[in-house]
Homo-oligomer: A and B are copies of this chain.
Amino acid sequence: MKKNVAILGLGIVGSGVAQILLTKTQHFQTKLGFTPNLVKILEKFPEKFHQHNLDIALKADTIDEILNDKSIEVVAEVMGGTGFAYECIKKCLIAGKSVATSNKEVIAKHGIELEQLAQQNNVHLRIEGTVGGGIPIIETLENDLIANTIVAFKGIVNGTTNYIITKMQEENQSFNEALKKAQELGYAEADPTSDIEAFDTLYKLTILSRIAFGLAITPTELYREGITKLASTDFKAAEKLGQTIKLLAIGKRITENKFDIRCHPVMIPINHPIARVNDVYNALFVQGDNVGDVLMFGRGAGSLPTASAVTADIIRGLREKTIPQLNRSLSSNYDLQSTESIVGTFYLRIDSEDTERVNETLTAARIPIKTLFLQDNFIIVETDKTDEKSVQLVLQQLPQSSLFIRQEN
């Protein structure tokens, strides 16, 4: 038996999904008792079919061709963007077709509405491919850990920035050198803004917060900070402190309805399970009230890893039509902690060598100093526990281009 499937977009992920569906037919037949059958691909450039050795007969010219084909049960949206992709997902759901997508931006921005639409039309909106590439993060949070209240998560969810950070740390490169290398290798785009300014991380953080905590949250509510201010000095200093720096997506449940959710560079101890997740790898560290700590690690991007997740979702869409969906209706009854009120320890890189003066300034501001040393013509300070507001204020009294990095245990 064959069950019909369509793909929207023949880019990096779409070509991977097509390849898996077309080459693993026997494998699927054995396990499932049916074969997912790729019947249409929406893609305007015919040359992409040649490039990926795909039959041009699969080409659909309009979304309507797919919407009007009643035999198509599941549609994989792997185009990216939020305009046309959003319209297509919406139309597919309304047409009674389940959707599997890897498009984090559209899900972060419109996922709440689209999920409601899916439930109303009794079809699935599956989003495993939106976070962590091939790592089964969504399914783990939603189903495997269903017996848990999620207490916290910390994740490295952007491969491009993790590659840059790894180069800065291991090879002592500047941010610009590492970015250039990432672009040469195709890990970073010509316009790298979405990655290095942590928009991509923010979208994934939004999705994780919805799934882990059940919050009706949107990206604009959450604190975001990219990696562009990091310097190789920070990595050298971190090493001396037994730590390393990672761009993390963090979510913490403070009380039942109060949460601390943010993404920014973080200094973490080198023995933390995610400290050694390097290069383009992603990882998510989750704490559940019953399961304790769980870590998932794998390739966070790339054609076939992400296609592996999208294909698993296509198959769930084909198999699970008849079972009631999990309730993904989200709560609007929550508070978010402002970053200013975070109490923790901080790393400061101060553009000065006048230790006496810096010491005085910090003491006057009641910033407790745990460690202070010189590194590459900067004063490095690790504080004891204090609140972020005090750190922000004292930074205004210190030389420009000084910065602080939050620490986590």
Contact = CB atoms under 8 A, between A and B. Distances in A.
Nearest to A34: B324
Interface stretch (A39-47, A289-297, A341-349, A400-408): A289-297
A387 interface: no
Contacts of A135: 294
A146 B31 contact: yes
Interface string A136-172: 1001100111111100000000000000000000000
B319 A147 contact: no
A147 B303 CA distance: 13
A20 B146 contact: no
Q: Classify chain A's interface size.
A: 35 or more
- Please state the number of chain copies in the assembly: 2
A interface, by DSSP: helix, strand, loop or mixed? Answer: mixed
Contacts of A315: 146-147
Contacts of A269: none
Contact of A291 (B32, B288, B293, B305): B305
A134 B298 contact: no
A91 to B, nearest CB: 26
Interface in A1-45: 16, 20, 24, 27-28, 30-33
Contacts of A136: 136, 139-140, 144-145, 294
A286 to B, nearest CB: 9
Interface string A296-330: 11110010110111011001100110111011000
A128 interface: yes
Nearest to A298: B294
Interface in A168-211: none
Contact of A294 (B16, B20, B144, B297): B297
A389 interface: no
A290 B23 CA distance: 11
Contact of A149 (B27, B305, B311, B324): B27
A304 B294 CA distance: 13
Contact of A31 (B316, B322, B326): B326
A80 interface: no
Interface of A: 16, 20, 24, 27-28, 30-33, 128, 133-136, 139-140, 143-149, 214, 271, 273, 276, 288, 290-299, 302, 304-305, 307-309, 311-312, 315-316, 319-320, 322-324, 326-327
5 contacts: A30-B214, A30-B327, A276-B276, A290-B311, A291-B299
